[in-house]
Structure 1
């Protein structure tokens, strides 16, 4: 009995066939070129092959329907060539460059790999009988989303522009904010099937070369069949695969990405998603928001402290409630202890089951609110939380105190500026609740010691995750846990650019 091929084996076989056909050179015979194109794209219904046979001159236009603009093809390519054929111009050397109206992006290709790559991305291939090369012309027709305010990182004061799914639209948003020729962009493709375009951005002379080379090396060694979003790329680029903490910042705000570039960091953009990756990232960077720099430094420092406190509440408050009420009642004031005992009278579950039940219910409501249609999602999550909380207390399943604990925990979990970072606390919260229910406060202390050790061992693009505290850097404290006044910060970008210009442009 023959064993069926695995998915990876089938992909590898198809990839070898595709590479074999793509490596073939373009011939002078148009019929052979048409046959190779048909093999490359199979029996795809959206493949358009239009041949124009003439007695003195024949040519062929190949493109994908709805990917290339058919109107522009007829207006700028087919009609001008047919007019020149009637006038007998094709005998002249270099006539095609003067004929095609959109010759700005006109290139030549001698292998089918280059032709297929452009056709897939909305271009047009022009084959001519008797010529062993093809002309490629970019005439994409797909529509991109208009630039609008980001939904995941809202703010009261600041720019309202956000990245979109097209890299070609995102790069100008950065160029407008950083007017220096030393802002470089490098592109590559990843994903054996998807061949997704990835762009690396950095400022030459300011970027850390070790970080840049580390990212280049990681991207060049990617082994994956598909890439659709930067979240998939983040997981593949992680050095430590077992940590729940994100080691890269993810943003859809151009001002945040531009600020990271001026700090010597690297950004990674991907076609098809408005989110870009910032590397390296530190633990403390997830408590910093773009709005911190658009308001006074003392207010920004206070807000950062509040975010850190809120994160601690979101992580440890339910576990602390379980540990104190179960093992360490002596830590509770007498009046509060009597009140809690009165509330828990008649509740059939211990504190751990009570807290776990409410946390699971809230997580279900949170996911329901996210997945449901927007007009009803927020209403269902809010009303559902209120109704279920009151009903659970009235039925005697939980005490009123645990409703307060879970509500405050839920609100605190939304304070973090980056949604991906709050996901780690959601996961660790349940683990900490189990530890608190078995080992009490002592178990929580052991957990936090292990957590700090784990965080200190992480790296982001080769940079310690716990910088600037481990290892300690006094200079970076100006914009670490607190934000110092802007006049105290070092204008490192200007000084390094000026130094490079004075040295004659050498790095």
Structure 2
């Protein structure tokens, strides 16, 4: 598979090593202290505490706010002080043995292996007379509580959502999948940010080819910063430009757990509550977690509603423009007379009329999102009503276009995934231009080109239309959500065996 140029193949160990990474720990504690000050600078939150007055001098280094200071006193400082005051045979080696009694200790000889743990919240200890340093994991920092996901609400189902802390997110997955075959592979991405990323998968279900492809792309990712999954998604996507997402983003642990159980790969990123799921298909974005918590007949109906809403969300304004501008013969006579009467006195053609209303609605949508939550929804709703009524009363637009734009907007909110509805928003304007240029023929050409484009897309090497074609036993969970007992029937088992 051809990877785009931004995915530069390079050694994992990094040829762009910084100057301090190969500096060895010295036997002299003063020399190590100078290295620490030169590397970490005079930053206010960097705490370097030398203890020269003890029988064996040592230095403790940590970042304030990332560690549990009370635990430093209980696990390191107080035991060492008490022990040095009571023991006669105090040596550097026995000092470290005393720390190992109350804490997990990791040994390092290079500063390049010490600085990163310090910046991640560990405590480093340098002992005079030893040419190694020790890091102790005592991370502690404020975290947000587990709340209900705001971007993917549900009427029935779990109310827990991921948060910005990886350790808690892995715990939420472990609670749902109590299986020893669940694996988490850690990576660090970003030459500057050193963001921790976990690749989660089920060892007995994941496609090894997909897993290796994901790991290879993440390891060879050459970027300075990563703060959110969207940045990784854009950098490792193998497709050219496409408005359609090829990764599924979710902040629901039940959705991620279900994806893992199906053999998919889940990417968790430190600092964001959203995880990435791959590979995905076109039909995945019409499926919601609530489909599996409701009765199957209702789930089937809702999925068809989502598909129809998606089509309406980018097609309706273009169809209105095409039939009113070029193909009036397609409109029933009574409706045509009504539309002509409404448009009498409107100074703009149908295309400009629809374009102005769509732009106004997009402005209102963004204003509602960015404004403070208590007043954001009020501004978007009241603004749409007031502007729509005022525009009709002023004779700038017809009542019909207000209905068309309103129905289009409502349909765009039906999608369970925000990124997928964003694709419809982009396609809507392109289709409107084609409809205003060559009418219904432009719409047909657009649909053909869109279908070809979707067929060419892949997600981690898997075709975007997988499960829709070819026809396989996976059809029981595409547009249809057949009952769970269906897989226990003889008919299903016979079908499975034949396919």
Match of 1:214 in 2: 213
Query: Which residue among 467, 476, 479 is the counterpart of 2:477?
Result: 479
Give the superposed CA RMSD.
1.6
Compared with structure 1, are the counterparts of its residues 311 and 213 closer, same or farther at alpha carbon in structure 2 (3 Å cutoff)? Answer: same
**Within-5 A mapping of 1:381-420:** 381-420=380-419
Compared with structure 1, are the counterparts of its residues 68 and 484 closer, same or farther at alpha carbon in structure 2 (3 Å cutoff)? Answer: same
Q: Is the CA contact 1:77–1:101 (under 8 Å) kept in the aligned structure 2?
A: no
**Within-5 A mapping of 1:360-371:** 360-371=359-370
Match of 2:96 in 1: 96
Q: Is the CA contact 2:55–2:90 (under 8 Å) kept in the aligned structure 1?
A: no
Compared with structure 1, are the counterparts of its residues 135 and 330 closer, same or farther at alpha carbon in structure 2 (3 Å cutoff)? Answer: same
Q: C-alpha displacement at 1:72, in angstroms?
A: 2.1
Give the gaps of 5 or more residues in structure 1.
Answer: 1-14, 492-507
**Within-5 A mapping of 1:341-360:** 341-360=340-359
Match of 2:126 in 1: 127
Deviations 1:246-280 (A, max 9, x none): 00100000000000001010000000000000000
Match of 2:30 in 1: 31
Scaled by the length of structure 1, what TM-score is found? 0.91
Deviations 1:413-441 (A, max 9, x none): 00000000000110110000000000100
Q: Is the CA contact 1:229–1:273 (under 8 Å) kept in the aligned structure 2?
A: yes
Q: Is the CA contact 1:84–1:99 (under 8 Å) kept in the aligned structure 2?
A: no
Instruction: Classify the secondary structure of the residue corresponding to 1:246.
Output: coil
Q: C-alpha displacement at 1:93, in angstroms?
A: 5.2
Match of 1:192 in 2: 191
Instruction: Classify the secondary structure of the residue corresponding to 1:90.
Output: coil
Compared with structure 1, are the counterparts of its residues 79 and 100 closer, same or farther at alpha carbon in structure 2 (3 Å cutoff)? Answer: farther
Work out whether 1:459 is the aligned partner of 2:448: no
Instruction: Classify the secondary structure of the residue corresponding to 1:422.
Output: helix
Match of 1:266 in 2: 265
**Within-5 A mapping of 1:78-227:** 78-88=77-87, 90-91=90-91, 94-99=94-99, 102-103=102-103, 105-227=104-226
Distance in 2 (alpha carbons) for counterparts of 1:216 and 1:490: 36
Distance in 1 (alpha carbons) for counterparts of 2:465 and 2:440: 25
> Number of residue pairs matched?
475
Distance in 2 (alpha carbons) for counterparts of 1:303 and 1:97: 63
Distance in 2 (alpha carbons) for counterparts of 1:120 and 1:112: 12
Distance in 2 (alpha carbons) for counterparts of 1:311 and 1:16: 47
Work out whether 1:69 is the aligned partner of 2:68: yes
Q: Is the CA contact 2:182–2:202 (under 8 Å) kept in the aligned structure 1?
A: yes
Distance in 2 (alpha carbons) for counterparts of 1:131 and 1:473: 67
Q: Is the CA contact 1:123–1:140 (under 8 Å) kept in the aligned structure 2?
A: yes
Structure 1 stretches of 4+ with a deviation exceeding 6 A read: 15-18
Distance in 1 (alpha carbons) for counterparts of 2:402 and 2:16: 61
Distance in 1 (alpha carbons) for counterparts of 2:228 and 2:353: 38
Scaled by the length of structure 2, what TM-score is found? 0.93
Compared with structure 1, are the counterparts of its residues 423 and 184 closer, same or farther at alpha carbon in structure 2 (3 Å cutoff)? Answer: same
Instruction: Classify the secondary structure of the residue corresponding to 2:36.
Output: helix
Q: Is the CA contact 2:80–2:98 (under 8 Å) kept in the aligned structure 1?
A: no
Q: C-alpha displacement at 1:100, in angstroms?
A: 5.9
Distance in 1 (alpha carbons) for counterparts of 2:238 and 2:124: 42
Instruction: Classify the secondary structure of the residue corresponding to 2:408.
Output: helix
Q: C-alpha displacement at 1:92, in angstroms?
A: 8.5
Q: C-alpha displacement at 1:44, in angstroms?
A: 1.7
Q: C-alpha displacement at 1:108, in angstroms?
A: 1.5
Compared with structure 1, are the counterparts of its residues 92 and 42 closer, same or farther at alpha carbon in structure 2 (3 Å cutoff)? Answer: closer
Work out whether 1:56 is the aligned partner of 2:59: no
